[in-house]
């Protein structure tokens, strides 16, 4: 699972460029040569869009600088959601992330598709239950046989250390790490 993805990232470049969580994994599993040059990078996004929640129509395509804003932006613009996509999401089997403020529950939410077989249902539920805690809502997952992926909706408020003052960049890195660590734990269990 992850091992193959990380080895591919390492082998495709002379100087490896890994996210912090990927670098930690590579070191832990001895995937790096002793003399390997590894640069720690931030997530890069090919698509950053602000969209209308009701119609899902594009409001505006944003640049990476928009992601330095705090996620509180979503509460102040409750009719919008943020949609981001990155080639790097292939590593964690995620298609994209959509972030919004859920006024009905009063929480910030992340929605994404996770390409994971249906047979891992019990593991997925137990992992999310163990790692997300919030009195109003933690998560909702449903398997889509048509798409072959889990449709995940989780409360960002349930993430350890989440604050609406965090930037979009920080929250997206936190989500990436959450899914990465979920896959790492699954990989160790099977």
Q: Residue 4 contacts by C-beta under 8 Å, 6 or more apart in sequence? A: none
Percent of the chain with pLDDT over 90: 64
Region of residue 30 (phi > 0: left; psi between -120 and 50: alpha; otherwise: beta): left
State pLDDT tens for residues 27-54. Answer: 899 888 777 778 888 999 999 999 999 9
- Residue 80's nearest CA partner among 90, 91, 66 is 66
Cβ pair 99, 62 in contact under 8 A: no
Pairing of strands 94-102, 107-114: antiparallel
Q: Which residue has the higher pLDDT, 127 or 135?
A: 127
pLDDT at position 16 over 60: yes
For the chain, give the mean pLDDT. Answer: 90
Label residue 3 by pLDDT band (50, 70, 90): confident
Report the alpha-carbon distance of residue 115 to residue 92 in Å, rounded.
9
Q: Which residue has the higher pLDDT, 55 or 1?
A: 55
State pLDDT tens for residues 70-92. Answer: 999 999 999 999 999 999 999 99
Q: Residue 153 contacts by C-beta under 8 Å, 6 or more apart in sequence? A: 109, 110, 111, 139, 140, 141
pLDDT at position 137 over 70: no
Report all structural domains of the chain as residue ranges with CATH numbers, in order of start. 2-40 (no CATH), 49-189 (3.30.1460)
* DSSP result, 45-68: -SEEEEEETTT--EEEE--GGGGG
Label residue 136 by pLDDT band (50, 70, 90): low
Percent of the chain with pLDDT over 70: 96
Q: Which residue has the higher pLDDT, 137 or 138?
A: 138
Cβ pair 150, 124 in contact under 8 A: yes
Residue 189 CB neighbour total at 10 angstroms: 9
Report the alpha-carbon distance of residue 12 to residue 18 in Å, rounded.
12
Task: Classify residue 134 as exposed, middle or buried by CB count within 10 Å of its CB (0-12, 13-18, 19+).
Answer: middle
Give the bridge partners for 149, in sequence order: 144
pLDDT at position 13 over 70: no
Q: Residue 92 contacts by C-beta under 8 Å, 6 or more apart in sequence? A: 176, 179, 180, 183
pTM for the full predicted model: 0.92
Residue 78 CB neighbour total at 10 angstroms: 12
Q: Give the pLDDT score at 39.
A: 83
């Amino acid at each position: 699972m992850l091992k193959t993805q990380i080895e591919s990232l390492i082998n495709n470049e002379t100087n490896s460029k890994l996210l912090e969580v990927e670098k930690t994994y590579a070191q832990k599993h001895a995937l790096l040569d002793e003399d390997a040059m590894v640069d720690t990078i931030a997530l890069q996004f090919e698509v950053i869009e602000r969209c209308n929640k009701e119609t899902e129509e594009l409001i505006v395509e944003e640049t990476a600088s928009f992601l330095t804003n705090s996620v509180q932006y979503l509460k102040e613009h409750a009719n919008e959601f943020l949609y981001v996509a990155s080639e790097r999401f292939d590593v964690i089997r995620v298609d994209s992330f959509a972030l919004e403020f859920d006024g009905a529950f009063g929480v910030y939410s992340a929605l994404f598709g996770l390409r994971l077989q249906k047979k891992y249902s019990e593991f997925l539920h137990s992992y999310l239950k163990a790692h997300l805690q919030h009195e109003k809502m933690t998560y909702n997952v449903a398997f889509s046989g048509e798409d072959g992926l889990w449709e995940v909706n989780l409360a960002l408020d349930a993430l350890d250390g989440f604050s609406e003052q965090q930037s979009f960049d920080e929250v997206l890195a936190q989500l990436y790490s959450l899914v990465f660590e979920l896959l790492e734990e699954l990989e160790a269990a099977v």
